[in-house]
Structure 1
């Protein structure tokens, strides 16, 4: 079977791109996958699987509108030209045309759960046009958590038989606890503190709730309950200017570090050395960073909403992301937790997110 994949995943390889690459790299059948990505993204798409071929098109990865138009109006004809059996679209899109059975990956419906996430025009476009049209026209929808599955069924009125949950995974060969001295050396080279709480992900507002992490950190500092710093690792997103302006005015601004984009090596060093990893999103379709942090041995505090309790199970602490007292108490509890007996619990928990098993489930969708 030949499957053609729309490979636009944004300006950088982050959660959606990593998910796609790991799924395709771990498939074991004889299916042939042809992935079309941006000319200026091709060097980031590297596969060990010989059944995956990367081709390019001439829209830049920085042109979000151009990529939406290409995926909507050009990609269906590319699928025809390649004489594909099926098509896969792994990112947000508007599915108007299709000439072959098409599988869409819908990671979340944050626009239905966080009212201020996007501008009014973008909210209308997503909730009234793109989401419902794409969901109804897709032959099958893959989503990444039971929580997202419930949302798609509820908000878009899609029958459950058309939905399959395939979790995001974690590459345990890559994401594992780094040698302490190596991690310290990387932090020192970048001028980052050695004693810190960590947030990793897009720095936006209000969705990812980076502001909640900052305010909880300020509370801990004000009450003299934590002596270290806070590192916010990730690219600016919607509402970043609000977060940045707030930090500039904070009396603890010198203790708060924005890293911008980080390499995988830098990210693993941060996960491995942080006192606590805090991920207080108001809504997540899945939430890859807490899983990566757990794989690197971090103590993890996450929101008690959407998919995050599902992701961390009983090996992380869940808390109301809007209750700063509860967040601060959870961080203190995690900082003081030196019990390593939970390492075996974490190993067992992470088996659920093994890419080989997830890729096998992924291929079953195309075989049905």
Structure 2
């Protein structure tokens, strides 16, 4: 299961009836399940905070065998990626701190921004996508300076992990061990 909405975010959405009702439906649905699977220690803790009586199993672990180094000359078609890139993979939830990453990229010197693109992979169903797009504009980034992608196949991820110049973990309070282990295995050098 993906992380539930944090208490701080819940306080913010109480005024938005649609989001609040969506959270309540998710909570009610999950409340009827005896065993829940969590993708990280953070998700496990957050789930137990909401459902202390449930069994929650943390299923995070080692990367799949597909995450191995790829040849330097391996090519895939990502026409929007036109230069070396900084990569973030994950959700756009508030605690993931993606807005701070965008702002930090926007504060780079012009020469650095000319050398790199910021590539962000996120869920295609995430309700914060428009907010993130607005943050690119607020940070003064042109559309050529960033690439916003939806989740890809494992082969595409391996290529991105292997070819990114930097991989970012901007999260303030969530584990990124899954992405870190995939990245380390896919790198040609550590």
Q: Same fold by TM-score, threshold 0.5 exceeded?
A: yes
Partner of 1:175: 67
CA-based RMSD of the aligned residues comes to 3.5
Superposed CA deviations along residues 57-77 of structure 1, whole A, max 9, x for unmatched, are xxxxxxxxxxxxxxxxxxxxx
Partner of 1:96: none
1:266 and 2:153 aligned: no
Partner of 1:350: none
Partner of 1:166: 59
CA distance in 2: counterparts of 1:238 and 1:134, whole angstroms: 20
Task: State the 1:215 CA deviation.
Answer: 1.1
1:219 and 2:95 aligned: no
| Partner SS state of residue 68, structure 2 | coil
Partner of 2:51: 156
1:126 and 2:23 aligned: yes
CA distance in 1: counterparts of 2:149 and 2:87, whole angstroms: 11
CA distance in 2: counterparts of 1:207 and 1:120, whole angstroms: 22
CA distance in 2: counterparts of 1:222 and 1:255, whole angstroms: 11
CA distance in 2: counterparts of 1:110 and 1:285, whole angstroms: 15
The answer to whether the Cα contact below 8 Å between 1:175 and 1:296 also exists between their aligned partners in 2 is: yes
The unaligned stretches of length 5 or more in structure 2 are: none
| Partner SS state of residue 53, structure 2 | coil
Query: Whose radius of gyration is greater, 1 or 2?
Result: 1
Question: 2:39 pairs with 136, 140, 144, which one?
Answer: 144
Change (3 A) 1:248 1:180: same
Superposed CA deviations along residues 188-244 of structure 1, whole A, max 9, x for unmatched, are x62523411111235x46454332221111223369598422122345421212222
CA distance in 1: counterparts of 2:52 and 2:186, whole angstroms: 39
- State the aligned residue count: 186
1:280 and 2:156 aligned: no
Partner of 1:61: none
Partner of 2:90: 201
* Structure with the larger RCO, 1 or 2 (CA within 8 Å, 6+ apart): 2
The answer to whether the Cα contact below 8 Å between 2:96 and 2:172 also exists between their aligned partners in 1 is: yes
**TM-score normalized by the length of structure 2:** 0.72
1:114 and 2:16 aligned: no
Change (3 A) 1:267 1:157: closer
| Partner SS state of residue 257, structure 1 | strand
Counterpart mapping for 1:47-66 below 5 A: none
